[in-house]
Amino acid sequence: MANQLHFVLFPFMAQGHMIPMIDIARLLAQRGVIITIVTTPHNAARFEKTLGRAIEFGLQIRLIQLQFPWEEAGLSEGCENFDLMPSLNLATNFLTAAGTLQQPVEKLFEELKPQPNCVISDTCLPYTAHIASKFNIPRISFQGICCFCLLCMHNTHVSKVLECITSDSEYFFIPSLPDRIEFTKPQIDAVPPQLKPLGEKFMEAELATYGVIVNSFEELEPAYVEEYSKVRDGKVWCIGPVSRYNRDYLDKAQRGNKASMDEKQILKWLDSQDSSSVLYACMGSLCNLIPAQLIELGLGLEASDRPFIWVIREGVNSKELQKWAMKNGFEERNKGRGLVIWGWAPQVLILSHPAIGGFLTHCGWNSCLEGISAGLPLITWPLFADQFCNEKLIVQILKIGVRVGVEYPTTWGEEEKIGVLVKREDVKSAVEKLMDKEKEAEERRERARELGKLAKAAVEEGGSSHLNIALLLEDIRNQGHMIPMIDIARLLAQRGVIITIVTTPHNAARFEKILARAIESGLQIRLIQLQFPWAEVGLSQGCENFDLMPSLDLALNFFTATGMLQEPVEKLFKELKPQPNCVISDTCLPYTAHIASKFNIPRISFQGICCFCLLCMHNTHVSKVLECITSDSEYFVIPSLPDRIEFTKPQIDSLSPQLKPLGEKFKEAELATYGVIVNSFEELEPAYVEEYSKVRDGKVWCIGPVSLYNRDYLDKAQRGNKASMDEKQILKWLDSQDSSSVLYACMGSLCNLIPAQLIELGLGLEASDRPFIWVIREGVNSKELQKWAMENGFEERNKGRGLVIWGWAPQVLILSHPAIGGFLTHCGWNSCLEGISAGLPLITWPLFADQFCNEKLIVQILKIGVRVGVEYPTTWGEEEKIGVLVKREDVKSAVEKLMDKEKEAEERRERARELGKLAKAAVEEGGSSHLNIALLLEDIRNQNEFASIKKGSRREKGKSRGLGKLAMSAVEDGDLLTSTLLFYLKISGIKASNIVRLGTPSGFDIVSSNNWRVLDTLWLEFNVRNWCKCRIDAAVTWGLEDKFGLLMKREQVKDAIQKVMDKGTQGEAKCAIEQGGSSYQNIEKLIQYVLQQTMSQKFTS
């Protein structure tokens, strides 16, 4: 993929740093990023199985191994990881050796393909900042600690508070923290003296970083995430807990080093214990406690009289400890109640077992976060570095921990001097306090459980960390996103089209950020703003959008004002460079038809409704069926539809009387259009796309759902107006709800329901006893409704179960959240299609315009909807007269019917899910909508080429042309076979330079460069769902075309594709090539198009 990102990851060679970086590599690769991991042979071997499985699953991860200069640094052979050092005194040697990798990495970067877009490196590898700077790409530093700790260190540094502290035992407050937290100097400044110079290098490199990835989640430490983000200009992405992305057995069991005890043996032992009864004790892979201190820990666990697992890291001390355990009979005495693991343990797997009830930890951040993610309370025993900071967070802020009482760090190299700080009685006391059944302990456990749930939700789709990954990628990719017509502009620009958008200042402001990103990313989009004549037509100042009108009665004034833009647009067209090739305009802007005609370019109208609705309106108009209908309550069948669908006159003809004359103008302009773009997709309404295409002579391009081209967080969050409630607040609320449990209710930006009707809607949602989000548009009625909600206590009563959004909501973002299970909609086509794209069943409550048509499609044809039972439109200006049509009981009944677990509802949901899958497939490369964009552009290009041919501007024979022009020449010469093949080649992106064109008496010839035959082993390529190939082996001689006939029939195309498909391509692709499938239809469509062009060219020539 041309726009695929490539990230290079540099994990620091210490187990606690490498494990989360490998997790990050996999989760970025799952988002389609190419990942290159740079490490050393020993460290690569530790993750061989994990990465091997990821690569087998199709993730684009590659591992590059560089030789580690252990010998030059005075380290023992193979010492490539911190936990392999015989003494932590060698840390300076190790970090110096890591820095010498800069030169081989620079050489590597010169050869990497594709060129990297970003470096993510551990904060302990400052040389990578120079690499990123040299190759002019952003460096993101990975911080293996929490935002609380990062903010503490930052505030300590900038405030210079330590300069005033004279005693190591003196407690002081770190300034400007959200909480009042005390530290001693050694607790916050626990870097060994010998590493201080390196610490300065780390800090210097950090200042040059583009941003920071933190293995934490926003809900855990919200105030500290917010404050640290301010320090880093917003470039902080909390994407953890990354351990939670390991969801299956092997991921958890093989995470990190190889386990020293078979994990099945551990799990079998855990299965024999009571739920939440076992204490897990592990002091980390860099534990530097002396044997005497470890013995006190073991005896304290034994004295607690609780089941325990004790993990003891490998090293010099472990041998002495093992000797003690054997002589003392420790393991034998505690057999059945205690399990000792000598070496590496599968920690995440153990912590997720229901028998574990607590975790005694050294407070390394990975361990803390893994304990939090498992919903466990912790016993805290910090040793050095950031661990005292983490203890403060666990005990004082989160209130889920019990201290063993350590006050001083265990400084590297001074362990023997420090001696035993924690006695067995301290351990016993802490275990009893953590694991007992008293109120304080129960409350601590409950808080831990809640944090575990939040941790899990953060990494699920729609969770804060899941979204932050999207935000990170968006920041690096820096692309743009729009609402339907703007979405289309972006789509076309991505195909190399120059786009000019003409709008007014207020509307331009709505898309300012989006357009800026689009332009920065290299898309050729320009925005031209024309002053809107609101004053001349009696509108209030700045009234430039339908949703800003105080009353829909002013619609005629608004449309009149838009028509007044014709003159300034004509003036603009005279000055535009390059000259436009095509106008795409909304069907509600008929003056653009005159512009297109005047400048002799095709106008494509954008239809914001579906083909079913367009065909209904067309057939109603041409059949004049309404002339026979005398009653507004009489149902009639619209003639010549693929299905038998009944309407009343007001449902199909709901245009306000004052707008009827404008409706005629719209219709007249439509007749003059070259073709129609429809925001729909062929698989949704195949029979109606086919029939409406016949009405429009094949010039119908379904290119939707355009909302699905917005694939990540910013696309969805910033699509349309500015949200009136922070989207993260909305998503946080959704994260607290069960999957598929929430009903989303929104009656659209032009909702004209009176307050009394809206109140019935709200009370119906409340009575349904289901979680809901209710979006209420801003306007006169919303103020009255807000007053009612406050006086009635509606929001307070439904707190936790119901969320009310007053104003604009990020609808696409909300609908894509897994907690949403249904959508109550006014049946505006955008909303319907967004619900369908999200795979949701709908409750239909149409108001006016095309909305009753859309209801028929949703309920009767697609069978994914439940009606609230509205029969009559809510006519503009007559809302008070119409009154309340839908009672709260109707709303409650519809919600229950949609959301229940009965067979009918399950089948409805399943149909909706299938349509959601088809919608996504349509916009992917090779999908029907993706192909239709190519067909549209090809059609417009050919219009210009036809004009050139008519003028006699054919090039000299013997010169190479573009395939489009070659195809047009073939059409003019009546060579249907050649032109059809060339159109396929054109759409497939094959260059004209691959084909040799020579002049012949008949005017056209194609030969291979090998043997001068017309067609010899020519490959045709076109997209179904992946690239499929259909081969023609033939020699065609001029003058014998009739004898050869059609070399490739559509059945042969199908069979050739089928052979490719049978090798394992997805089932949806197979469906596409079956008779009636979207790709099969597109082949027919293309051949039909060439036939039409052939006939027209023969006559025009």
Q: How far lies 743's CA from each of 95, 734, 800, 807, 891, in Å?
A: 55, 11, 14, 18, 12
Low-confidence ranges of the chain (pLDDT < 50): 1-2, 256, 478-483, 711-720, 947-980, 982-1050, 1053-1054, 1056-1057, 1059-1075, 1079-1080, 1090-1091, 1093-1101
Among the options 23, 122, 386, 1005, which is catalytic? 122
Token reading at 1011: 């043997």
Task: Decide: 822 and 841 in contact? Cβ < 8 Å.
Answer: yes
In sequence order, the β-bridge partners of residue 526 are 500
CB count within 10 Å of CB 1100 equals: 10
Task: Decide: 51 and 61 in contact? Cβ < 8 Å.
Answer: yes
pLDDT in tens, 267-318: 999 999 999 999 999 998 778 788 999 999 999 999 999 999 999 987 657 7
In sequence order, the β-bridge partners of residue 996 are 1007
Quick one: the chain helix, strand, coil %, rounded to 5?
50, 15, 40
What per-residue confidence (pLDDT) applies to 1050?
47
CA-to-CA distance for 122 and 143, rounded, in angstroms? 7
Q: Name the pairing type of β-strands 378-380 and 401-403.
A: parallel
**Which CATH superfamily does the domain covering 580-703 fall into?**
Glycogen Phosphorylase B; (3.40.50.2000)
DSSP secondary structure letter of residue 658: G
What per-residue confidence (pLDDT) applies to 18?
84
Token reading at 1033: 């082996």
Q: How far lies 461's CA from each of 218, 585, 713, 872, in Å?
A: 15, 36, 11, 39
User: What does CATH list as the number for 1-143?
Assistant: 3.40.50.2000
Residue with tokens 């191994």: 65
Question: CATH topology of 248-458 equal to that of 710-897?
Answer: yes
3-state secondary structure of 212: strand
What's the N-to-C CA distance of the chain in angstroms? 42
Task: Decide: 372 and 241 in contact? Cβ < 8 Å.
Answer: yes
| Residues listed for the chain | 1101
**Domain 710-897 CATH class label:** alpha beta
CA-to-CA distance for 184 and 372, rounded, in angstroms? 26
Phi, psi of 1050 (to 5 degrees): -60, -30
**How do the domains of the chain map onto residue ranges?**
1-143, 248-458, 580-703, 710-897, 928-1100
CB count within 10 Å of CB 787 equals: 11
What per-residue confidence (pLDDT) applies to 487?
65
Q: Could you give the maximum distance between any two Cα atoms of the chain, in Å?
A: 105
Among the options 17, 353, 466, 481, which is catalytic? 17
Q: Is 17 a catalytic residue?
A: yes
∠ CA 204-206-211, nearest 5°, is 155
Q: How far lies 144's CA from each of 240, 381, 387, 737, in Å?
A: 10, 19, 12, 30
Token reading at 1090: 């060439």
Q: Is 122 a catalytic residue?
A: yes
In sequence order, the β-bridge partners of residue 729 are none
Task: Decide: 165 and 182 in contact? Cβ < 8 Å.
Answer: no
To the question of domain 248-458 being in CATH 3.40.50.2000, the answer is yes
Amino acid (1-letter code) at residue 733: W
**What is this structure's pTM?**
0.49
Token reading at 529: 């703003």
Amino acid (1-letter code) at residue 967: A
pLDDT in tens, 593-638: 888 888 888 888 887 889 999 999 999 989 999 988 989 899 999 9
Nearest to 671, CA basis, from 593, 606, 613? 593
Amino acid (1-letter code) at residue 278: V
> Residue 645 half-sphere exposure, CB side, CA atoms within 13 Å?
28
What is the helix (H) or strand (E) element at residue 856, kind and residue range? Answer: helix 851-856
DSSP readout, 582-628? -EEEETT-THHHHHHHHTT--EEEEESS-HHHHHHHHHHHHHTGGGG
816 Cβ contact partners less than 8 Å away, ≥ 6 residues apart: 461, 462, 716, 838
CA-to-CA distance for 752 and 744, rounded, in angstroms? 19
What is the helix (H) or strand (E) element at residue 594, kind and residue range? Answer: helix 591-598
